[in-house]
Structure 1
Amino acid sequence: MCGIAGGFGRPNAPTVERMLTRLHHRGPDDQGTWASAGIVLGHTRLSIIDLETGHQPIASEDGRVVAVVNGEIYNYRELRARLQAGGHRFCTQSDSEVLVHLYEDRGPAMVEEFDGMFALVLHDRASGRLLLARDPLGIKPLYGGVAGETFYFASEIGALLEATDRVWEFPEGTRLVLEPSAPLDGLKDAPGPDDTYALEPYWQIPEGPPDVSDPRTALEGVRERLRRAVGKRLLADVPVGVFLSGGLDSSLIAAWARRLTSGTLHSFAVGQRGSDDLRYAAQVAAALGTEHHEYTYGAEDLEEALPTVIRHLESYDPALVRSAVPTYFVSRLARRHVKVVLSGEGADELFAGYEYLRRMDRQRLHRELRTVTAALHNTNLQRVDRMSMAHALEARVPFLDLEMIRWAFRLDPSVKLRGAEQVEKWVLRQAAEGLLPPEVVHRGKAKFAHGTGTSGLLRKIARRRVALEDLRQAQRRAERAGSPVSARAPARSREELLYYRIFREHFPQEAVLHTVGRTRSVIPGELGDEREAAQGATA
């Protein structure tokens, strides 16, 4: 896991160095740059695989291809063996080196062979081209923007702002080839279908109708794919641990990690003293035999951390901020013991874990699950990436393994929401039988912010710091501007308005607002005082 930055066209090398400084938290173990005519590539490294020789930027045997990558390629050993059999000579044991050799064989199509999470930038010195690509779900971040005659890129918005105020998010599951002589006007914003540069999707969430409705078949498929997904994500030359909230998703990941790990497995939980998450997590840890670590916090801790959390999160979405705060604390705790953790993100989107989904019929539910899964790149995946990397911790998400995603979208909604009571994530609960304590298997869904006791504390902080009249005025301004409260206008609650104000202190540039994702799982009343304020605004 790392941070990447650079420029293509007429890049300014000191600018790229400043960008890398802003990314130091993502890769404190090493830093490198490579420059040639019209190109600068930069990298900050968190050493996970091949601790000694995995320096980046990395080049092919003859130096024709140079690349930087953030992430992990889980099938790199298979790719490496095939490439060596074809005559390629490797200089390191790093997973990153397969990029430059596979590009020599397949060109930009190489990304279709990767099983992993990644954001990569590769320069072909012979043609002068630049290739950018992001993993299918957008687990790893990538942003771009133009300044003068240069296209700049970076892993985080804050770093890219060192070069340009015009920033846009590189889409998930997409690649882009830049020619050295083409104009850059089309890259001032995310390229559209009619622009000179066409973003080329190479992967998408399966669109076909579900064809697996038999509960036993569904269960066996989930179990086997989850076992394999966890197993490949234990690959590392450093200790690996697990986030453990005591909920179904993280507990199931922890159970498989425990089965597949020899030796000590560290688990980590945080929350307000006496919170449900701490209690359930301790129960699961005892049952699995992990070396368990806890951190408890109160309102003062939350308020002190909030500006730092929002600066790293690069979002003000209230549901995201709420869950980002405990993620920030648990990442800080985990980094004292390990460099890699497994996390349960993606299960709610794949297997219908959110309360609002219960109101949907079968076809609408299937479509909605596709929508929320496709939106993970700038919601929950952004949260996990930013909060873990704020502490130089790599987070891996087994539920979002591509095999699991393909299987999940073959499953009929009847095995996800089951029976008259609409039991959420039914097939996952069945997969957890015999692996986890019954109380955990049947524990109802609790969002991370609720289970840790964080949401109530944050709401009280917001009500103390933001007057209700301020919210009403913000809603009136949004109405006059024609911005719906449900879109990007930060006027749904005092809590959201507080987060927005902090966000704008760090990111005053207007273009940054377009990168903010919006969580769809918020139910009416969850944010607290939006109805009261709306009544006052229209009175």
Structure 2
Amino acid sequence: MCGIVGIWDSRGTRSIDRGVLVRMNDSQHHRGPDETGIHLVPGVGLGHKRLSIIDLATGQQPLYNEDRSVVVVFNGEIYNYGELIPELTSLGHVFRTRSDTEVIVHAWEAWGEACVERFRGMFAFALWDEGKQTLFLARDRLGVKPLFYAQLPDGMWLFGSELKALLSHGGLKRDIDPRSVEDYFALGYVPDPRTIFTSAHKLSPGHTLCLRRGQPAPEPRCYWDARFTGDNRISAEDAQLELVERLNESVRLRMISEVPLGAFLSGGVDSSAVVAMMAGRSTGSVNTCSISFDDPAFDETRFAQQVADRYRTRHFVDRVESDDFDLVDTLAALYDEPYADSSAIPTYRVCQLARRHVTVALSGDGGDESFAGYRRYRLHMAEERARAALPLGVRRPLFGTLGRLYPKADWAPRFLRAKTTFQALARDSVEAYFHSMSIFRDDMRAQLFSPEMRRQLGGYRASELFHGLARRAGTDDPLSTIQYIDLHTYLVGDINTKVDRASMAHSLEVREPLMDHRLVEWLATLPPDLKLRQGETKWLLKKAMEPHLPHDVMYRPKMGFAVPLARWFAGPLKQRVRTALLDGELGRTGLFNRAYLEQLMEQHNSGRRDHSAPLWSLLMFEAFLRVGDHTGTQASRPPAAAGTAAPAGRPVPAELAQD
């Protein structure tokens, strides 16, 4: 697990400033504190920060082929490298290390751009082929590992594992993209391939970008996508047996390590299943880590302890105080662009705990998307039955009127909170799902933004992303459609982003057995009723794990990894939120309607509405602006002149720099 950076001249072989390359590389020191490597020749500069996991003695990067004409910098793990080495050796390639990184250079020589189709793992890498004058960028299928890139007006290309590496160059314009702001306040993150800045991009999961010197830059190429066919006629019993076999294999591959290894154990079925499979393959006790909360409403440690006791793990628990909100600025610096999932706080803390005991941790991330584990899936399918009973022409005026008239009763028992349901029933399936996922819903965003911001959006709505993905999904099944949407949005933009930044802040590698692409492909072929059956989410996984896990762990209400935002904003953060929203950077951007910001706070503080999530997203956006010292953030500000240099990247907070 590492950090990579690079500068490439698409027009020739101009000199690359070594000091700039080193600055970009050092901005990601937390990703790889063990070793540093630089490759610098006219027109090409590559940098690498290494966290040593496999082949500790000889796996240094940048890494070369036999004649040094091909060089790679790589972040991640190729789990099937042991299978690929003999195949490549039989083709005449000579290996000088035992690292999975060397597989990449030889696979490129053997199979070209198609090499990524042979890799099984999590990865982001940049490869330079001197003979072909080609720069090849690639990202893994599920987007576990990040890769940012940008083309400067002078023909130079920048790339790195984190956006801060590109910002550290000094030449990247920082004009904020209004569409990204719209996306962020709808979803809580900036979805791929956009970043918060118009000048930078994320390479989307399952995509490559092949740049050849002297030729126009092509669009990124998609080499993989999940296909929810649902056409596998396997019986439920056989599916359970096969699932256990596939989980075992996926866990086995991710237990290859030359450094201490463990697992996150939240007390949910996903992480518990991973721990159960690890225990079955371990000769000694598995290391497990959990976070406890002093607020019982958010604490799952008693369930984690049941699994730890059953498998006699070496179990470590760290307590997080319910007022652990001092990480706001640290998180803003860590994520580089606005990010509003408040569970980033406990995730940061559990990674901090794990790193004290292990260097590699397995997680249960990805299970909700593939096994249909979210509560919102169950609610969406219940709404689908109602939508199927009445045509949209009837539903839209009927439930639209009810949705407008019914009060927003956040304070009431759940069964009385019908406003959101009425609003969903007035929409088509995709719009309804987008509505349920939105932090600021359509009517709220219309009031949130200033007239100038709405003008710059030009009619763009964040829901366009969901509609585009639904068209691409290739299925008419409503459950499969929203699973597909989540695989491309929430999993990548929220979950994987959260875990990557939080783990790398502490130089911890996190591996994800439930995101093995072969497992995801197989699950996508299964009928939807094996995943969500009679209101039971993750039905197949739970049935398969019944011999392995306590009943209470699997068949209980899902709690999530949450923090008490409502209480924070009514108490210790009340004044801080007011200052941030009305007296901080938000007002100077020209993006927001101040009167509506005041209305949000008044409604929340009076107890009439629970605006916890919207207020948190605003607080994190303000922290992003303040901590980042960004230019070009006013909605009315014209784009900067071509070639205008932005300030060098912001310094890494001391809390991160120590790791």
Question: Does TM, normalized by the shorter one, top 0.5?
Answer: yes
Per-residue CA distance 1:83-137 (angstroms, 9 max, x = gap): 1122211111111001111111111111110000000100001121100110011
Structure 1 position 155 matched with structure 2 position 161: yes
| Partner residue, 2:524 | 409
Aligned-CA RMSD value: 2.7
| Structure 1 Cα separation of the partners of residues 337 and 248 of structure 2 | 33
Cα offset, 1:225, TM superposition: 1.2
| Structure 2 Cα separation of the partners of residues 37 and 429 of structure 1 | 56
Where do 1:78-477 residues align within 5 Å? Answer: 78-147=83-152, 148-163=154-169, 164-165=172-173, 166-182=199-215, 196-212=217-233, 214-273=235-294, 274=296, 275-300=298-323, 302-318=324-340, 320=341, 322-358=342-378, 359-360=380-381, 361=384, 363-375=477-489, 376-419=491-534, 422-449=535-562, 453-455=563-565, 458-460=568-570, 461-467=572-578, 470=581
Per-residue CA distance 1:370-409 (angstroms, 9 max, x = gap): 1101222221011111100100000001101012101111
Tell me the TM-score normalized by structure 1. Answer: 0.85
Quote the sequence identity (%): 38
Superposition misfits of 4+ residues, deviation over 4 angstroms: 453-462, 468-471, 476-481, 508-513
Equivalent position amino acid for 1:428 in 2:
L
Cα offset, 1:234, TM superposition: 0.4
Cα offset, 1:510, TM superposition: 7.4
Cα offset, 1:207, TM superposition: 4.3
| Partner residue, 1:518 | none
Higher relative contact order (CA 8 A, sep 6+): 2
| Partner residue, 1:2 | 2
| Structure 2 Cα separation of the partners of residues 60 and 313 of structure 1 | 34
Give 1:494's match in structure 2, choosing from 615, 619, 622: 615
Residue 65 of structure 1 contacts residue 122 of structure 1 at CA under 8 Å; is this kept in 2? yes
Q: 1:40 to 1:470 in 2, by over 3 A?
A: closer
Structure number with larger C-alpha Rg: 2
| Structure 2 Cα separation of the partners of residues 247 and 491 of structure 1 | 24
Specify the SS of the correspondent of 1:466.
helix
| Structure 2 Cα separation of the partners of residues 469 and 52 of structure 1 | 49
Structure 2 residue ranges without an equivalent (≥5): 174-198, 385-475, 601-610, 635-659
Cα offset, 1:509, TM superposition: 4.3
Equivalent position amino acid for 1:335 in 2:
R
Equivalent position amino acid for 2:335 in 1:
L
How many matched pairs?
Answer: 487
| Partner residue, 2:48 | 43
| Structure 2 Cα separation of the partners of residues 462 and 167 of structure 1 | 33
Q: 1:212 to 1:19 in 2, by over 3 A?
A: farther
Equivalent position amino acid for 1:201 in 2:
C
Equivalent position amino acid for 1:425 in 2:
K
Specify the SS of the correspondent of 2:556.
coil
Residue 228 of structure 2 contacts residue 480 of structure 2 at CA under 8 Å; is this kept in 1? no
Residue 341 of structure 1 contacts residue 396 of structure 1 at CA under 8 Å; is this kept in 2? yes
Specify the SS of the correspondent of 1:206.
coil
| Structure 1 Cα separation of the partners of residues 367 and 151 of structure 2 | 36
Residue 222 of structure 1 contacts residue 431 of structure 1 at CA under 8 Å; is this kept in 2? yes
Where do 1:12-91 residues align within 5 Å? Answer: 12-91=17-96
Per-residue CA distance 1:426-471 (angstroms, 9 max, x = gap): 111112112111111212212111xxx5555655554442239958
